[in-house]
Amino acid sequence: MYSVVKAGQLADRVHELVVEAPHVARHAKAGQFLIVRVDADGERIPLTISRAEGDLVRVIFMTIGATTYRLAELRPGDTILDVAGPLGRPSEVPRNATCVVVGGGVGIASCPIIARTLREAGNRVIGIVGARNADLMILEDEMRQSCDELHVTTDDGSLGRHGYAADVLKEVIEAEPVDHVWVIGPAIMMKVTSAVTRPKGIRTWVSLNPIMVDGTGMCGSCRVVVNGETRFACVDGPEFDAHQVDFDRLMQRQRIYLEEERDALERHHASRCGCETGVRHG
Amino acid sequence: MAERASTVRVHDFGEVDLGLSPDEARTEADRCLQCKKPACISGCPVGVDIPAFVLAIAEGRFEDARTSILEANLLPAICGRVCPQETQCEGACILAGKERAINIGALERFAADVGVEGEAPVACAPSTGRRVAVVGSGPAGLTAAAELARRGHAVTLYESLHEPGGVLLYGIPEFRLPKVVVREEIDRVLALGVELRTNMLVGQSLSVEELLAYDAVFVATGAGLPSFMDIPGEEVNGVYSANEFLTRVNLMHADRFPGTGTPVKRGSRVVVTGGGNVAMDAARVARRLGARVSLVYRRREDDLPARREEVRHAREEGVEFVTCAAPVRILGEPCVTGVECVQMEMCALDESGRPAPRELEGSSFVIDADTVIQAIGTSPNPLLIRLLPGAETGRKGNLVVDECGRTTIPRVYAGGDIATGAATVILAMGAGKRAAAAIDSDLRNGTPAGNVE
C-alpha cells in the first residue's frame, strides 16, 4: 500500500498525485514511468514520473478512463494498492549541447524533470509548452524555472502565443543551432511536432504511451513499430527516435479497447451516482 | 483421476481434474512395487522420495506422505498438477513398460491437498546471518528461496508484479492450477521467514549495487519478451502474444471485465499458433471466453510438444487442430479478419529429432479470425541481465550458468527460464534447488559445492 500525500487538480480533467513510494522515488530518472494498480480488481496503468524527491513521486494524468477517474478521486491519506517502478530506460542525456523540450497538453507533465536533468548536465535548455487554451496549461512556472528560456503557446491564443508548439519549434530551430529535441504529448501532437525537426536531421525523442499490462517486458502489449521493427516500449523505451516511429500504428493500437473502456467508464460513473449498474452496454 | 465433463467445464474456469478420493489414492498407491532401486526418484528433478510417500498413502498415513514430499519439494500441490510426469517419474516407473505406470502425479496432488489446512510449519536451520536475494518469485525463485531459508539464510524474495508466483500466476490458467492452491504453497514458503517484496523491478527499483550488497543473489527472472513470427500483419489490432492474452485473464481477471478493470478481446473466431503447453492454455482459455478456436501447428499432431493430457483436454473442449500448417500472413486492417496459412510437408528428421516441415507450394488457405494468439515462445527477460556487469549471456540472451547455477559473476547464481530458455515448472524448480545447495555450500565454505546430484 502506498500513501497519497498530495492530490490536486491542475486544469480541466488534469490531476496530480504525490505518492510515497521510496523504491520508485529514490531510483527514478528523467524519462521513466511507473505502473499503478488502484485496488485488487484494478487494471495496471503506466504513468510518467513527473517528479521524484526523497521518498515521493509525482504523477500527472488526464481523466480518460475508469482508472484515471478513480485516481482523481483519491485524497491525501488514501492509498494506492500497487506502485511499481521506475520502469523503462531513462532519457539519454547529452552534455554541453543545446536542447529543446516540447510538451503538449498533459504531456507537459514529463518535461520539467527532463529539462532539469538536461540543465544539470550542462546543456542549454529551451522549453516550449503548448495547450489548447489557457485553462489547460499546466506547470508553466515549473518549466520556466527548469529551462533557460520558455515559450508558451495555445491553440486559441488565450495564453502566450497563438498557435501550435510545432510552429514555435520551427522558429527556435531556425534561430539557433539545436542538437537534441524532446517532444512529449498526445501521439498526434508528437507526430506533427517531431516532423518539424526531420529536414534538419536533429536528433528528436518522443515518449510513447502504448497500452501496457505488466510493463516489465513480459507481455508484449506495448509493442511499437520503430524503423520497421517491433520494439517494446516498456523495456526498449519509452523514448524512441521520433523520426523512425510509426505513429499511425501507435494511434491505431491505442484504440484497441475503446469500446471496453467506454463500458468501464459508464460503469464507474454509474457507481458514483448511485445508479443501478452491472448491465453491459453494447 | 476423475475429470469434469468437457461440455460443462468449457463454460467456466473451475479445475478440470477432480483429484483422487482417499480410497482411489490407496488403491493406486498399493500398485507400487516399492523397488529396491527406484528409477522414479532419478526421474524427478527435485528428487522426491517417491516410494516413501506412495507407501505412506497406501498405508493411509496421508500426513506422513505430505511430510515426506515436503522434505524435497515445498510445492507439491503445484507439481502434482503441472509436472509432465509421463516424461519424468512416471516415465521412469518400472511398471510403465509393463501394465501402466503408477499415477505418481495424482498421488502427489492427493497427498498435497488432503488435510493441508492443519499442516505444521516446516522447520528451518539456525540462522547463519547470511543474506540472500532471490530475484523473481516463479517456480525457480520460490524453490531457491525455500531451500535457502530452510538452511538458515535470511532470504528476500523480489517480485516485479503485484503478487508472487510468476508463471504459476500469470501463465497457467485457473482450470489447470487454481490460484488458491498457488497461494497456499507460496504461504508455506513465506512461513519459513522469507521476506517478500512485490512491485520491485530489480535493477530499477533496487539498483544493481544494492543487489550485489547481498551475500549472494539468485536470478530467476524467467522467460521475458514474447516472440512473434515476423510475418506481415502482426501489428494489427487483435493479435496477441500468448503471454499478454493469458496475463490479462489469469493475472488480471479480464474474464470478469467490466467487474475488473482489465479488458480482453474475447473474439468469436480465434486462431492460436504454436503447439506447446502455452498454446494449449491459450486455446482453452479462448474457448472458455466463448470463441471458436483453431490451433495451427506446423508439424504433425504426434509432434506436438505439449503434454498429451493438455492436447486431449483441448480437443475434448472443442479446440480444432490444424496441423502441418503454418501462418504466413495475418489479414485485415486495422483489425484482424483472418490468417493466411500454407500446408507443410514433413521432411527428414532435424536435430530435434522431429521432421523438418517444408512449405508446399500453392497450398495457401485462409482461416477466418478476429483474434490471433501467438504462442511460439519467449526470450529471456533482458531487464536485469543488461545491467549486470560481467554477465556472460548465451545465444538467446540467457544467462550462462554452470551445473550448479553459478553465473560468470561471483556470488550471482541463476536458474529457470532465464538460464535455460523456456522450459517446465519442475525443471525450473530443480535448477532453484541445485543453485540453493550451491549458494549454501559456497557461503559456508567459500568453496565451490560441486554438483549436488
CA dist., res. B249 & res. B176, Å (int): 14
pLDDT in the model for residue A277: 47
- B191 burial class (0-12, 13-18, 19+ CB within 10 angstroms)? middle
Q: At what angle do helices B50-58 and B104-113 cross, to 10 degrees?
A: 70
Which architecture does CATH list for B2-118?
Orthogonal Bundle (1.10)
Percent of chain A having pLDDT more than 90?
91
pLDDT in the model for residue A75: 96
> Which residues, other chains included, contact A68 with Cβ-Cβ below 8 Å and sequence gap of 6+?
A15, A45, A61, A62
- A186 burial class (0-12, 13-18, 19+ CB within 10 angstroms)? middle
pLDDT in the model for residue A101: 98
Percent of chain B having pLDDT more than 70?
98
Fold of B131-224+379-445: FAD/NAD(P)-binding domain (3.50.50)
Residue B382 grid cell: 533482458
Evaluate if residue B450 carries a pLDDT over 50: no
- Tell me whether residues B205 and A218 touch, CB distance under 8 A: no
Evaluate if residue B421 carries a pLDDT over 90: no
Residue B361 grid cell: 507450394
Q: Looking up cell 529535441, which residue turns up?
A: A181
- DSSP secondary structure letters along A40-80: TTPPPEEEE--EEETTEEEEEEE--SHHHHHHHH--TT-EE
Evaluate if residue A151 carries a pLDDT over 80: yes
pLDDT digits (tens, 9 = 90+) for B248-260: 999 999 999 999 9
Share the mean pLDDT of chain B: 92
Q: Which 205-244 residues of chain A touch chain B by CB within 8 A?
A: 213-214, 216-221, 223, 225, 230, 232, 235
Evaluate if residue B281 carries a pLDDT over 80: yes
**Residue A187 Cα, gap to closest chain B Cα (Å):** 17
Give the pLDDT band of residue A38 (cuts 50, 70, 90): very high
pTM summary value: 0.93
Domains of chain A plus CATH, in order, are 2-87 (2.40.30.10), 98-254 (3.40.50.80)
pLDDT digits (tens, 9 = 90+) for A53-75: 999 999 999 999 999 999 999 99
Sign of CA dihedral B3, B7, B10, B11: negative
**Residue A46 Cα, gap to closest chain B Cα (Å):** 13
Evaluate if residue A23 carries a pLDDT over 90: yes
> Which residues, other chains included, contact A52 with Cβ-Cβ below 8 Å and sequence gap of 6+?
A24, A25, A26, A28, A58, A86, A113
CA dist., res. A130 & res. A137, Å (int): 7
CA dist., res. B296 & res. B281, Å (int): 14
Which architecture does CATH list for B228-376?
3-Layer(bba) Sandwich (3.50)
Give the pLDDT band of residue B386 (cuts 50, 70, 90): confident
CA dist., res. B246 & res. A196, Å (int): 41
pLDDT in the model for residue A274: 63
CATH 3.50.50.60 spans which residues of chain B? 131-224+379-445, 228-376
pLDDT digits (tens, 9 = 90+) for B86-102: 889 999 999 988 889 99
CA dist., res. B344 & res. B300, Å (int): 9
Evaluate if residue A164 carries a pLDDT over 50: yes
CA dist., res. B103 & res. B86, Å (int): 9
The CA angle B147-B148-B154, to the nearest 5 degrees, is: 145
pLDDT digits (tens, 9 = 90+) for A103-145: 999 999 999 999 999 999 999 999 999 999 999 999 999 999 9
Q: What is the mean pLDDT of residues B403-408?
A: 92
B370 phi, psi to nearest 5 deg = -110, -5
Chain B CB within 8 Å of residue A83 CB? yes
Nearest partner of B102 among B174, B49, B25, judged by Cα = B25
Q: How many CB pairs under 8 A join A and B?
A: 128
- Max distance between CA atoms of chain B, in angstroms, equals 70
Evaluate if residue A273 carries a pLDDT over 60: yes
Evaluate if residue B271 carries a pLDDT over 80: yes
Nearest partner of A24 among A82, A87, A85, judged by Cα = A85
Q: In the structure, how many helices (H) and strands (E) does chain A have?
A: 9, 17
pLDDT digits (tens, 9 = 90+) for A247-256: 999 999 999 9
Give the pLDDT band of residue B449 (cuts 50, 70, 90): very low
Give the pLDDT band of residue B110 (cuts 50, 70, 90): very high
Return the minimum-mean-pLDDT range out of A91-100, B269-278, B413-422.
B413-422
CA dist., res. A52 & res. B163, Å (int): 25
Evaluate if residue A159 carries a pLDDT over 90: yes
CA dist., res. B51 & res. B40, Å (int): 8
Give the pLDDT band of residue B347 (cuts 50, 70, 90): confident
Share the mean pLDDT of chain A: 93
Residue B88 grid cell: 519424468
Evaluate if residue B371 carries a pLDDT over 90: yes
Query: B354 vs B14, which has greater pLDDT?
Result: B14
pLDDT in the model for residue A275: 57
**Residue A128 Cα, gap to closest chain B Cα (Å):** 30
pLDDT in the model for residue B379: 86
Beta pairing, strands B269-273 & B371-374 = parallel
Which among A83, A219, A235 has the least Cβ separation from residue B199?
A83
Which among B234, B243, B263 has the least Cβ separation from residue A219?
B243
Evaluate if residue B310 carries a pLDDT over 70: yes
**Residue A256 Cα, gap to closest chain B Cα (Å):** 6
Evaluate if residue B447 carries a pLDDT over 60: no
pLDDT digits (tens, 9 = 90+) for A221-241: 999 999 999 999 999 999 999
- Tell me whether residues A218 and B170 touch, CB distance under 8 A: yes
Q: What is the mean pLDDT of residues B382-410?
A: 89
Q: Which 123-182 residues of chain B touch chain A by CB within 8 A?
A: 160-162, 170
Chain B CB within 8 Å of residue A267 CB? yes
Q: Are B404 and B438 in contact (CB under 8 A)?
A: yes
Return the minimum-mean-pLDDT range out of B60-74, B189-203, B353-367.
B353-367
pLDDT digits (tens, 9 = 90+) for B135-184: 999 999 999 999 999 999 999 999 999 999 999 999 999 999 999 999 99
Q: Looking up cell 535457502, which residue turns up?
A: B148
CATH 1.10.1060.10 spans which residues of chain B? 2-118
Q: What is the mean pLDDT of residues B426-447?
A: 89
